[in-house]
Amino acid sequence: MAGAGRFAPSPSGELHVGNLRTALLAWLFARSTGRDFFLRVEDLDQARAGAEAAQLRDLAAVGLDWDGGILRQSARTPVYLEAIQRLQEEGRVYECFCTRSEISDAPRAPHSPPGSYPGTCRNLSEAERERRRPERPPALRLRSEVTEYTVHDVLHGDYTGAVDDLVLLRNDGVPPYNLAVVVDDAAQGVNQVVRGDDLLSSTPRQAYLASLLGLPPVDYVHVQLVLGRTGKRLAKRDGAVTLGALAELGISVPEATAMILGSLGLPGTLPEALAAFDPAKLPLHPWVFEPPGADR
């Protein structure tokens, strides 16, 4: 079995050309290697009304197809809780009562990355935990046994990143992204993960968690982001960056698709792009997107 690739948007709004570029790359990587291609909706956090339908419409409009039904994370909480229970039974989980501000203000080791958990609640006594529970519902954290982990990325080579005691269950009872994505990739047989390189730094934590759960490794491909004219990650504030906004300027979906594929050095239609696709020839620098009419 060749396995599968996937695209997993969060239904928080319309997709912009940067999102669509990543989706097209995920499809091209999967189809060029004989893999299935799945679509997953990462809707554990509150979704914006109508966003999922708009995203599916735009993905289909640029020519993407996917295999099977759409997996929605909001329907899979029992599966995530089962994975947490397995880790609990192995003694790998502890309760954390820290607020975000407490974590932010806590002292850390000199080389700890910003935002990493300093282990404040790691060694609380049972008496202290009993005292704290009525005050604040605890989150559940992984008792990590490593401080860093190495993954291999098709475009970036070996990458070693920090691993802390990541959250497995938020104190509102919602499983977080880092757990859900690992469990879902394994459940769907996904062995190729193509996504933006802004997520590369969190990948060692996910790969380490997958190893503890006995899940198979995956091939990672972290692609360059699309930037706005200011050099920051593309966002709607940069102007006409969605298919709908581009259409208002007279740019059709085929023209927008050709523009995105052209930024990758590929022909302007998806069948032609698939025939010409070669990961070794992909640009290794971000695409700075200039919305048509931006200087008017």
**Known binding residues for Zn(2+):** 96, 98, 117, 121
Closest residue by Cα to residue 34 from 282, 274, 276, 283: 274
Greatest Cα-to-Cα distance within the chain, rounded to the nearest angstrom:
66
Closest residue by Cα to residue 141 from 111, 98, 200: 98
Closest residue by Cα to residue 100 from 170, 185, 41: 170
How many other C-beta atoms can be found within 10 angstroms of the C-beta atom of residue 110? 4
- The distance from CA 264 to its chain's CA centroid, rounded to whole angstroms, is 21
DSSP string, 16-45: BHHHHHHHHHHHHHHHHTT-EEEEEE--SS
Give the C-alpha separation, 250 to 56, whole Å: 22
Closest residue by Cα to residue 13 from 254, 253, 245: 245
For residue 195 the two structure tokens come to 């996504």
Which residues are known binding-site members? Answer: 6-10, 42, 96, 98, 117, 121, 177, 195, 236
Which residues are known binding-site members for L-glutamate? Answer: 6-10, 42, 177, 195
Beta 167-169 vs 157-162: how paired, if at all? unpaired
Closest residue by Cα to residue 178 from 166, 187, 170: 166
Helices (H), 62-119: 77-89, 100-105
Which residues are known binding-site members for ATP? Answer: 236
Contact 284, 224 (CB under 8 A): yes
The residue length of the chain stands at 296
